[in-house]
Structure 1
Amino acid sequence: MKLAFSSNAYLRHPFDETAERIAAIGYQGLELLADVPHAWPAGLLEGPKRAIRETMARTGLQFSNVNAFMMNAVNDHRQPYWHPSFIEPDPNYRRVRIDHTRRALELCAELGAPHITTEPGGPIAPGQTRQEALDLFVEVLKPLAEHAEKVGVLLLIEPEPDLLLERTDQYVELADRVNSPALGLNFDVGHAYCMSEDLPKAIAALAPYTRHYHLEDIAATRVHHHLPPGDGAIDFAEVIAAIRKTGYDGWLTVELYPSQENPDEAARQAYNVLKPLI
């Protein structure tokens, strides 16, 4: 297994500086934020793409993932990460999320990254049943999964509290209905802990679907707020042992976007806690 850090903790820093800081701490990989200020696909010209590749080569980092979940560039007043969602009642606004995801898949392929991660549907709208929302999500995802397969990368869904798919096991029904080899699960350990999942059991059960892991700590209250490993209640020795038991040998990406005031400190603490376990 290899340890990576997400650039979404470094929203106050340009990409080249972000990569240099992450590499200096000791991480092997970097998760690229497909959003402002690092790599918003809709406005990313060839020059900035070339600069990203050159920075990765210079620092010796590899791409662990492209994070297409956040959409700060749109800056929706409700929540800049969840909206626009795949299940927005307004089809024109829903198209903004769809088009962003399509561009992120293409960017992922251009940069040679393995996959993108995205939201698990979004919040269910007032008056919308869960089944209606799920049917719409499946309808939207099928052509996106086809596009992912066409460009040669994976499209990973990340269950999250308060969204359509909250628990990791809810991913299975979606996967069965979309039925695409390009679709996979991004298992976010902190989110699963928030939902009171038994982490070792969930890791084992979802192993056939999991293509990438996000790691962050969560307080014992199980409130969804990302903390550096060591500051919450998750037993990472147990988690890493459970992941290893599945035979997974890919990326474990630390995601600490709330730590923008001192991302270096958060990244270093996470590295010091997790590296000995890996």
Structure 2
Amino acid sequence: MVKYSAGLWTFGQLSDRFSVYSGAAGLKEKFSRASRVQGLEGLEIIYPSEFTRDDLDVLKALLKDHGFEVSSLLVNLFSDPKWKFGAFISQDEGLRREALELTKECMEVSKEVGSNLVNLWLGQDGYDYLFQVDYAKAWDLLIDSIKDCALHIPDVKLSLEYKLREPRTHSLIATVGKAVLIANEIGLDNVGVTIDIGHAFNAYENPAESLILARKWNRLFHIHMNDNFREWDDDMIVGSQNFWDYIEFFYYLKEVGYDGWLSLDVYPYRDDPVSVCSQSIANLKKLQELVSRIDPQSLKERMLSNDQPSIIKLLWDAIF
């Protein structure tokens, strides 16, 4: 059975380049808001932005009081200006070492809060201009740094979240193929991939195919759920734009027997976060119910016959 979580940051201050749309909130207030989301079982938390090691007792008490698990910790190597030219690929050896130590610390803390997963989104590890970075050196630093961290605690998973762009115009870990390539090159069992379905859309991927690709090498560790119009990482309500992609994604999620977290990474600038998350979870459950109506054997027979009209009919008859 899959479980549902959400980024704790969703319940704090939200802003875009033009305005701030919701007030700042501390740890306790964020938990209070999250507790009103229907069907929410876990939280993904940014370390050390949303809590530090000094806050561990408070965090554990809040988790217990509200009945939440920690689905993953997300190490913050992206929001501090010091990372503006990269964290794991920084040419400043001291900064790079600091990034590695923070990641290792996050891995240690993850065990203390009952999680075995650190989501690694290296948003600043990329470039903006041609001739800005030495690609060979950057890739060597990236792979060596991830491997160094993974070796620190072998039973804590490092899940590479890929994204085409933003905040840099080009991210090094930009696509599912690159993320799987890195994990396979490192060759450790605790290095895998986070599929953010919105990032897959942005990269012009078919999320179901991305899922199968990551799963083929046992690299599917974590999933982020949201939606967008494919041009930008809008982080909208799940299933609000790309219905059929979601149907196929959940069909194959069922086929591979995924039983991990479905974590909401939504960013409701103007809408109520509690309502957005509640509706997203309701949509996730409905999508799974719709997929359960599809007869896998009948679908596979039609796929083998290359009879696309009959496939469309089968899907529409099952769902509508």
TM-score grouping bracket, smaller chain normalisation? 0.7 to 0.9
How far has the Cα of 1:268 moved from its partner?
2.2
Residues 236 and 274 in structure 1, CA contact (< 8 A), matched pair in contact too: no
- Taking a change above 3 Å as real, the CA distance of residues 260 and 250 of structure 1, as seen in their structure-2 partners, is farther
| Matched residue, 2:134 | 129
2:35 to 12, 15, 23: 23
Q: Secondary structure at the match of 1:24?
A: coil
Q: Secondary structure at the match of 1:276?
A: helix
- Counterpart amino acid of residue 35 in structure 1: P
2:273 to 250, 260, 263: 263
Gaps of 5+ in 1: none
Residues 223 and 261 in structure 2, CA contact (< 8 A), matched pair in contact too: yes
How far has the Cα of 1:55 moved from its partner?
0.9
1:50 to 57, 76, 96: 57
Residues 188 and 213 in structure 1, CA contact (< 8 A), matched pair in contact too: yes
- Counterpart amino acid of residue 127 in structure 2: I
- Counterpart amino acid of residue 159 in structure 2: L
Pairing of 1:35-46 with structure 2 (within 5 A): 35-36=48-49, 38-39=50-51, 41=52, 44-45=53-54
| Matched residue, 1:246 | 256
How far has the Cα of 1:7 moved from its partner?
0.6
Residues 174 and 203 in structure 2, CA contact (< 8 A), matched pair in contact too: yes
Counterpart Cα distance in 1 of 2:36 and 2:228: 26
Alpha-carbon RMSD across the aligned residues, in angstroms, is 2.2
- Taking a change above 3 Å as real, the CA distance of residues 106 and 259 of structure 1, as seen in their structure-2 partners, is farther
Q: Secondary structure at the match of 2:173?
A: coil
- Taking a change above 3 Å as real, the CA distance of residues 213 and 92 of structure 1, as seen in their structure-2 partners, is same
How far has the Cα of 1:77 moved from its partner?
8.6
1:228 to 222, 228, 237: 237
Question: Matched residue pairs, number?
Answer: 264
Identify which range, 101-110 or 170-179, moves more after superposition.
170-179
How far has the Cα of 1:158 moved from its partner?
0.7
Counterpart Cα distance in 2 of 1:257 and 1:94: 29
| Matched residue, 1:139 | 144
Q: Per-residue displacement from partner, 1:46-90 (whole Å, max 9, x unpaired)?
A: xx2011111111111111111114543x34595xxxx64211222
**Radius of gyration: which is bigger?**
2
Gaps of 5+ in 2: 13-23, 166-170, 289-320
Residues 10 and 257 in structure 1, CA contact (< 8 A), matched pair in contact too: no
| Matched residue, 2:222 | 212
Q: Per-residue displacement from partner, 1:154-208 (whole Å, max 9, x unpaired)?
A: 1111111131011101122211221212211111111111111122112112112
How far has the Cα of 1:261 moved from its partner?
6.5
How far has the Cα of 1:109 moved from its partner?
1.1
- Counterpart amino acid of residue 16 in structure 1: K
- Are residues 1:67 and 2:78 paired? no
2:247 to 223, 237, 251: 237
Q: Per-residue displacement from partner, 1:21-47 (whole Å, max 9, x unpaired)?
A: 3232121111112132x21x4xx31xx
Residues 189 and 215 in structure 1, CA contact (< 8 A), matched pair in contact too: yes
Counterpart Cα distance in 1 of 2:173 and 2:286: 32
Identify which range, 170-179 or 103-112, moves more after superposition.
170-179
User: What TM-score do the two structures reach when normalised by structure 2?
Assistant: 0.75
Identify which range, 20-29 or 109-118, moves more after superposition.
20-29
| Matched residue, 2:109 | 107
Q: Percent identity?
A: 21
- Taking a change above 3 Å as real, the CA distance of residues 50 and 260 of structure 1, as seen in their structure-2 partners, is farther
Work out which structure has the larger RCO, using CA pairs closer than 8 Å and 6 or more positions apart in sequence: 1
Residues 87 and 124 in structure 1, CA contact (< 8 A), matched pair in contact too: no
Counterpart Cα distance in 2 of 1:86 and 1:218: 29
Residues 130 and 164 in structure 1, CA contact (< 8 A), matched pair in contact too: no
Residues 156 and 211 in structure 1, CA contact (< 8 A), matched pair in contact too: yes
